[in-house]
Amino acid sequence: MLDYLVRSRARRQLLRRLWAERARGSVSALARAAGVSFAAAHRELEAMKAAGLSVAERDGVATVYRANLAHPQAEVVTKLLTATPPPRADSEQKLRGQLAALGAPLAGPAPKRRQPRVEEVLADGLVLAHRSPTVARVLPVAFWRQRDALDYECLERAATGRNERQALGFYLELTGQLGGDQRLVRRARRLRDRRRVALQPFFAGGRGAFARAAAQEKSPPVARQWGFLMNMELESFAATFRKHVPAAA
């Protein structure tokens, strides 16, 4: 029903994040969680605020959006959003299978049809990594195994369209460091947005005080350089990489 009533995919996804999952976050964080572009997320969140469906609050230097649970029709909106859950489980399993076909050590169904472009699968993997620490940990293996076959301009466009340009830079530099390939590091550094100075949680839902403190302690330096805080140490990435790419160790 929701797909029929709300034709905009970006609007549906953001409504689900705010109202069904009770998520809160900056435009960038919500765009990543919803798998939509920054521009689309900003447009929809501001439209929701104008309609009284969202509230924008300051959190340090960031503007954080959340559902306006004081809205007169809050109960109706909540019922609509929770009655039509997104088919995330099936789509995530399908993506895991596609990433596994690219060499990522993941369990998932083998692609039954023609595999999408490698660059599109990796860009979708960047989106999923924000919700799945397991995917986040193994992505460098997939990037490494595909590094000589990638169309990097296509990969950059795919990542930018998903609001994942900074995440792509982070993973290219991280993979280059883990495998000792300076070509990846140089490619990554061309993507850096020097205007981005505030650190943001990499993982969706990582804005609580405890989660932020853990991320402050464990974030690898390369993650901080790309503007991310993450509760995952560099050795966690390195151990996974050494296990599955022994020749590069």
Highest mean pLDDT (candidates 35-39, 71-75, 209-213):
71-75
Using alpha carbons, select from 6, 14, 75, 19 the residue that is nearest to residue 45.
14
Query: What token pair was written down for 79?
Result: 């019922």
**Residue 249: what pLDDT?**
46
What is the DSSP secondary structure assignment for residue 117, as one 8-state letter? P
pLDDT in tens, 95-127: 999 999 999 999 877 777 777 899 999 999 998
Find the Cα–Cα–Cα–Cα dihedral 133, 40, 192, 103, rounded to 10°. Answer: 40
- Tell how strand 62-67 and strand 228-229 pair up: unpaired
**Per-domain boundaries in the chain:** 2-83, 88-248
Average pLDDT over the chain, rounded to an integer: 86
pLDDT in the model for residue 24: 85
Residue 131's pLDDT band, with cuts at 50, 70 and 90, is confident
- Mean pLDDT confidence for 167-174: 96
User: What is the CATH code of the structural domain delimited by 2-83?
Assistant: 1.10.10.10
Query: What's the pLDDT at 162?
Result: 83
pLDDT of residue 211: 67
pTM score, whole prediction: 0.71
Which residue did the predictor score with more confidence, 64 or 215?
64
